[in-house]
Copies of this chain bind each other. A is one copy, B any other.
Amino acid sequence: MPFDPSSLKYDANGLIPAIAQDHATGEVLMMAWMNPESLLETLRTGQVTYWSRSRQALWAKGATSGHVQKLVELRIDCDRDCLLLLVDQAGPACHTNRRSCFYTALRDGEEVVILTPM
């Protein structure tokens, strides 16, 4: 069936979580939020646009940093309340200049930084 963004389930704030995953390596890069407008913008442009909760505005990922995410494929989960974005990530996904935002691991009860800035 044709895709209808309004058929997704948004939370009380009108948002849906979106997980960005490197389409080639499978690395999970980040998780952010979308509203219907940002999702439509993502599909229209082919580059990922989130909704910034702090700025309450569209957030075209990489618009200032150049670290854009080209959408390779959009996937939807069984409950239609979470999105998985397979992306082609230019440079680091994280604002700390690391490839992934998930750079802290819990090992032997201690937090360990496992990625260095690019």
Give me the interface of A with B, judged by CB distance under 8 Å: 1-3, 17, 19, 21, 25-28, 30-31, 43, 73-79, 82, 84, 94-96, 98, 101-107, 109-111, 114
A96–B79 Cα distance when bound, in Å, is 10
A106–B96 Cα distance when bound, in Å, is 31
B106, A94: Cβ atoms closer than 8 Å = no
Q: What are 29 contact pairs spanning A and B, CB under 8 A? A: A1-B110, A1-B111, A2-B110, A2-B111, A3-B106, A3-B110, A3-B111, A17-B17, A19-B19, A19-B31, A25-B26, A26-B26, A28-B84, A31-B82, A43-B106, A73-B105, A74-B105, A75-B102, A75-B104, A75-B106, A76-B102, A76-B105, A76-B111, A77-B101, A77-B102, A78-B103, A78-B104, A82-B102, A84-B102
Query: How near does chain B come to A83, taking the closest CB pair, in angstroms?
Result: 8
- Known contacts A17-B31, A27-B26, A31-B19; is-contact A78 B101 (Cβ 8 Å): yes
A105, B3: Cβ atoms closer than 8 Å = no
A27–B84 Cα distance when bound, in Å, is 11
A106–B77 Cα distance when bound, in Å, is 11
